Amino acid sequence: MRAFAITVLLFFKHYFRDRSSVFWGMIFPLLLMILIGLAFGRGENISFPVGLIDEGGGPVTQGLRQGLAQVAVFRLTEEENRSTALDALRRGRRTLVVIVPRFGSGEPIRVYYDQARVQDSRTALIILERFIAEANLRLAGVQPVLKVEATGVAAARQVRFFDFLLPGILAMTVMNSGLNGLTWVITEYRQRLVLKRVLATPVHPLVFLGGLITRYAATNLVQLAVIVLVAVFVFHATVVGSFWVLAGLALVGTLVFVGMGIAISTVSRTPESANLFGSALSFPMMFLAGTFWPREFMPAFLQPVISLLPLTPLVEVMRAVAARGEGVGPYLAGLLYLAGWGVIAFILAAWRFKWE
């Protein structure tokens, strides 16, 4: 027991003295969160910059202009002339450029859109077409028979992007500690005969390994706490669920991915190859498992693969707890699947582990 406690304590110290593990454990996840947040998290209010060139100036175009200005998602800019407007479009400063001809000239309303950003252009076009259709009806004096009144069904609580991103980052950090951190550490200790040195004492090897694993659990909790604190106080992310449940999930995740890390170390001779192996697993998972963005963003043919990844259920349950305040109940099947990976990893590790 004393051996175990001292092992945990000293390895805990050892961790904080290693700048690279502090970087990968805290700085790297925070950096990722900031960068991804900057790229995707810029405000949930969508708006499209629309350039308008009014060639007619009659009362009808006047009405059109006023109408367009009232469309909430359009930010209307009056353009000087066609060429500057199209130039702005090409540079991505406009989503649409609308040219309104003189009323009665028979010319159509001409719309230019940015082909490079299909999604935005298409959305904006649909909105514009609906607006024009309505304007036509009104001009024709037709009373619309059907009316649509849309009400957005908000989730129980509005989930902001950082709220969504944070649990993904936490799950990723847990995964990396096992697949990238421990794989390196164990193979390095083995290569430098540190493990053999431990084996030359009467301590039971499992006491030592247990101490090492416990230190990973402890440092992961510290890392996650730091990440959560920064996310909450600097990026105003909100965690609705219980911190205790999150910590428990992080511990389960740690155990599974540490087990996988040990299993990887049994098939790799050098720290470099073990790290490569670990990264080959963790890297794709990082981007596929719904860590940074919803897994639905990935193409359909990848979805079955994503369902098989061990990181996916961890991300799902941590996000459900952190961002939506759910309990773990509905996610037990996923957690069991995750635990299955852990059990297999530990069996493999116990069977193949070499001390030197």
Partner 1 sequence: MADAALQVRHLVKRYGPLVAVAGVSFDVARGEIFGILGPNGAGKTTTLEMIEGLRRPDEGTAVVDGVDVRTDPRGVRARIGVQLQEAGFFERLTVEETLTLFGSFHRRAAPAGTIIDRLQLGEKRRAWAGTLSGGQRQRLSIAVALVNDPPIMFLDEPTTGLDPQARRNLWEIIAGFRREGRTVVLTTHYMEEAERLCDRVAIMDHGRIVALDAPRALIREHTPGTTVAVTISGGDAALERLPGVRHVQHENGEALLSSTDPIQTVHALMDLNRQGDLHFHRLRVEEATLEDVFLHLTGRRLRE
Kindly state whether residue 13 participates in binding partner 1, applying the rule CB under 8 A.
yes
Helices (H) and strands (E) in the chain, counts: 15, 4
CB 77 within 8 A of CB 103: no
Whichever of 93 and 352 has its CB closer to partner 1, that residue is 352
Whichever of 24 and 208 has its CB closer to partner 1, that residue is 208
Residue type, 93: R
CB of 203 to partner 1, least distance (A): 4
Whichever of 60 and 194 has its CB closer to partner 1, that residue is 194
CB of 17 to partner 1, least distance (A): 4
Whichever of 270 and 303 has its CB closer to partner 1, that residue is 270
Q: Which of residues 199-238 bind partner 1 (CB under 8 A)?
A: 199-204, 208
Spatial distance between the Cα atoms of 228 and 132, rounded to a whole number of angstroms: 47
Out of 138, 157, 196, 352, the only residue in the binding site for partner 1 (CB under 8 A) is 196
Out of 3, 71, 125, 348, the only residue in the binding site for partner 1 (CB under 8 A) is 3
If DSSP codes are grouped into helix, strand and coil, which group holds residue 98?
strand
CB 266 within 8 A of CB 354: yes
| Other CB atoms within 10 Å distance of the CB of residue 314 | 32
List phi, psi (to 5°) of 235: -105, 5
Spatial distance between the Cα atoms of 62 and 54, rounded to a whole number of angstroms: 9
Burial readout 233-263 (b: 16 or more C-beta within 10 A, e: otherwise): eebebbbebeeebbeebbbbbbbbbbbbbbb
Among the listed ranges 3-11, 39-47, 111-119, 235-243, the one in contact with partner 1 (CB under 8 A) is 3-11
CB of 300 to partner 1, least distance (A): 48
Whichever of 47 and 201 has its CB closer to partner 1, that residue is 201
Kindly state whether residue 192 participates in binding partner 1, applying the rule CB under 8 A.
yes
Kindly state whether residue 272 participates in binding partner 1, applying the rule CB under 8 A.
no
Contacts with partner 1 by CB under 8 A: the residue count is 25
CB of 173 to partner 1, least distance (A): 21
Spatial distance between the Cα atoms of 87 and 155, rounded to a whole number of angstroms: 40
CB 179 within 8 A of CB 220: no
Whichever of 111 and 198 has its CB closer to partner 1, that residue is 198
Q: Which residues bind partner 1 (CB under 8 A)?
A: 2-3, 5-7, 10-11, 13-14, 17-18, 189, 192-194, 196-204, 208
